[in-house]
Amino acid sequence: MKYKTLLPGKKLASPLFSIAVIVLICFISWHANRLDTSSNLNNSNHFQPPSITPNDWMALQRIYPYDRIQPNAYLLAVEQAQALMDEAPERSTPWVFTGPTNIGGRITDIEIPDGDLQTIYLGASTGGVLKTTDGGTTWTNLFQDVPVVSIGDIAIDPDNSDILYAGTGEANSSSFSFWGNGIYKSVDAGETWQHMGLEHSAYIGRVVVDYSNSQRVYVAACGYLFSYNDERGVYRSVDGGTTWRGYSS
C-alpha cells in the first residue's frame, strides 16, 4: 500500500492505527477519572452510611429540613383530603377487591357491649371503626365521614352502650404509623361522630371510661414519635370528653 506524502519524508499513518491511539487515550483518561472519583467518595463524609438506627434515619429523611414533622401541616392536609372527599361527585360504579389476599390488616381493639354478644366494634390500624350486629356475619364501616383511618383504641360507656369513644392513631408504632387527630365521641352507637379534641395526641393507645362515673374518661397518648413533646402523657376528662387536663410525662 502506498501512502500519500504531505511533506518530504513524512507519511500518513494507517487509519486503524490512528483509531487505536484515540481509543487508548480515552481509556487512560476514563480510568484516571474513575480513580479520582473513587478517592473522593471514600474521603467524603457525605457518602458515609448513617451512624444512627434505621428508624431514626427514616425519620430524618421525612422531617428534613426541620427537627420534626410539622403537625399543623399534617392536620391541615387531613382536613383538605376530607373536603375533597365531601365535594367529590357520587359515583355508582362499585369497587371490586382485587387483592392482595396474603396481607392482613391490624386490628387494634375489639369491644363488645355488656349483655349484647351480637354487637362487636373493631378498631383497625388503617380502616377506621367497624361494627357488626349479627355476631360478625356482616360489617359496617362507621368512620367513613371522619378524615382519619387509624384507630388506637375504642371505649364503650358502661352506663350507656350507645356512647362510644374512639381514640385515633395506632399506638403500635413502627417507623411511621398513621397519625390520628385526637379523640371522637358517638352518642348514637357509632352512626355519627363528634371530634372531642386532643388533636395533637398523634397516637392514642388506650381510652378508659370510669365504671363508677362515666363522665370521667382517661386517655393515654403517645404523642409524636422520635421527638420530645408535651403531647405525650395521660389525659383526663370529668365532663364526658368536653374538656381535658393533661398529665405529661
Which cell numbers in the block locate residue 143? Answer: 368512620
CA 68 to mean position of chain CA atoms: 14
Q: What is the average per-residue pLDDT within 64-92? A: 78
The predicted-structure confidence for 139-166, as pLDDT tens digits, reads as follows 999 998 888 889 999 999 999 999 999 9
Residue 139 CA neighbour count, 13 Å, CB half: 13
Which cell numbers in the block locate residue 131? Answer: 361494627
The predicted-structure confidence for 206-231, as pLDDT tens digits, reads as follows 999 999 999 999 999 988 877 777 88
- Is the overall model pTM greater than 0.85, yes or no? no
- Supply angle C-alpha 219, 63, 221, rounded to 5: 5
In the chain, the percentage of residues whose pLDDT exceeds 90 is 39
Question: Model confidence at 237, in pLDDT bands (50, 70, 90)?
Answer: very high
Nearest to 177 by CA among 199, 203, 153: 203
